[in-house]
Chain A
Amino acid sequence: MIRVVLPTHLRTLARIDGEVKLEVEGLATLRAVLDALEACYPMLRGTIRDHGTHRRRAFVRFFACEQDLSHVSPDAPLPDAVATGTEPLLIVGAMAGG
């Protein structure tokens, strides 16, 4: 079981209260987690990564275990602590204010 924390606006959009808990089969990667997340919550398609290319949106970041995973390959294994549900994967709206 993988835990995902979404930014407020996406929790509101998807009507999610608190963390999302996902079952991911096979290797736990960013791609696998986002595939599972979008399958459960179709309205999140296009909000975190582009519909067609699956490129991360410019102002979205992925953090876990105090690391920035935003630039890691989407097919790289997530940290064990995320894969086992000890730590959540944080999907974050980048700081872009003034």
Chain B
Amino acid sequence: MKKKWILLLLVLVMVAVLLPGCSKQGAGTSGKGCTVTFGAAVSLTGKYAKEGEYVNNGYNLYVEEINKKGGIKVGGKTCKVALKVYDDESKAERSAQLVEKLITEDKVQFLLGPYGSGNTYATTAIAEKYQVPMVEANGAATKIFNRGFKYSFAVLTPAPYYLRGIIDLALDQDPNLKTVAIVAENGAFALEVAGGARDYAKEKGLEVVYFDKYAKNAKDVSSLITAIKGKNPDILLGAGHLQDTLLIVKQSKDLNLSPKVMGFSVGPTAPEFRKALGKDADYVFGAAQWTPELKIKSDDVFGTPQNFAKLYKAKYGEMPPYQAAESAAALIAYQKAIEAAGSLDRKKVRDALANLDYMSFYGRLKFNEKGMNVYKPMAVMQNYTDGKLYTVWPKEAATKPPLYPFKPWDQR
């Protein structure tokens, strides 16, 4: 019974996602042209449904824009781009299963990543097994890349770097801050983020007064908040994803936990954060892989972060979260590698990816020998009291000064 429903759901999702793609593909193959097909398993339901939606939007926006320009140049021809997306229900094993299906049954040429480090960890192993390149944009854990894989590349900055910006910003605002509490979701990505933050905080002379993890599907963290409040930290850093971040902020208010700085790895930069919390989103910092306010000029299909934001807003009705931008950037990495290789041969494209060094609207796309992009810095955004998100760090990209300190809950 369960399988039946899942199947029905999958068919529905497939129809919904592929209907626009199918007609284009038909038109492409009938003439002299060709089609490059990318495949991905993305979380459209389950815990990472919201983040997965942003990923899917990013992929689709790129496909739409590049096809408006004719497609990707391969040698002398211009190929249309097609996309095949399945819903992995936020489960790693399902994600791996679907990626295998994309390779063996749907015969896609190249793979894109799912959302989240856990799912990416599972799917990159499948890609490696079949020697199909996977450029992923949403798995930041370094453990994905410590297995000596040759076909996996990540366009985003690795997990241990996530919270550094927030720590720098906090100490820049007030060098007298002494203590920090760090909590992490019990998962690959979050634990690396938290570990990186702990090491960096110590390096900067802060005392880590609380460091612990909570269950992956936690629905109640009030005990954790109680323990943290007992330590009375100056800074609270959370490593996790959107749902945990919402929960922590909500229950911090319940229990009146008001540190001077509150920052998270994932969540505060997503439009959903403000929608779910309303005024309670104010003052919260979020790490960002990318912001629409960065000053970058590129010759890719989007040109600038501002133009990407404009196109995204026109299509989806809200400002783009960084998950959408990095997902689109994964396709740009492919485009540049395919153009350099002059071929759709998987091995040649892989080699071109390994040698890629390109400035996109998203930032520098270059991979180290493990396949990680360690060449792009992180930014910090803050939910301002006027209901908008602003880039507040690094200073040279900031559009507003940070609001400091965090206004205690009982004074709002």
Do A and B actually bind?
A: no
